[in-house]
Amino acid sequence: MTDAEPDDDAALDASLISRWREGDERAATTLVARHAAAVARFVQRLGVRDEVDDVVQDTFVRAFGALDGFRADAALRTWLFTIARRLVIDRQRSRARQGAAVEVQEQDVATEYDALDVLMADETSRRIHEALGRLSRMQREVFLLRVQDGRSYRDIAEILGSTEGAARVHYHNAMRAVKEYLHE
């Protein structure tokens, strides 16, 4: 789902949500099937390992419980990503509190980039992985949301609580940093 087909995707999601609210349980099945994998991949990329399923479940439950707050002309997946990200941050804050009394700010919460689950098929892939690991957390999240998830700058801004302009700057800075590292 990208801005290339916003009308189709948004319209379909809106229709499914409407059917769900009218009592059609199959609409929930379709909505989950449409978005669960992407949400899971996003959650995993935020550093969640063993509780991906739980976070994805909580995301959908929370989203479905707050459908009144969802605008039909917006991207449902963007909204799900936003909810998922906040849930992950809340979990990390909770764990941080268990270890320390210091209040954890959102920007301080670490989202470890540890995609070594991916098999490094060649040197280039390994170098790209290293380059991504050297990016700032925000740069990496913007870059991967744009490149791997195909989210628009507007969606990215919404997910990360930033602005479209900042998202664009982060993306281009990340692209430049990755290219510089690969050409070292």
**Cβ 57 to other proteins shortest distance, Å:** 5
Query: Of 92 and 143, which CB lies nearer to other proteins in the complex structure?
Result: 143
Please give the Cα distance from 100 to 10 (Å, whole number): 43
Q: How many CB atoms within 10 Å of residue 45?
A: 19
Total residues in contact with other proteins, by rule CB under 8 A: 71
| 180: its two tokens | 């510089």
Query: Of 26 and 110, which CB lies nearer to other proteins in the complex structure?
Result: 26
Q: Which of 23, 98, 107, 123 binds other proteins (CB under 8 A)?
A: 23
**CB burial of residue 142 (10 Å; 0-12, 13-18, 19+):** buried
Q: Which of 13, 16, 46, 79 binds other proteins (CB under 8 A)?
A: 79
Query: Of 70 and 104, which CB lies nearer to other proteins in the complex structure?
Result: 70
Q: Quick check: 113 binds other proteins (CB under 8 A)? A: no
Q: How many CB atoms within 10 Å of residue 100?
A: 9
Q: Quick check: 91 binds other proteins (CB under 8 A)? A: no
Please give the Cα distance from 78 to 147 (Å, whole number): 15
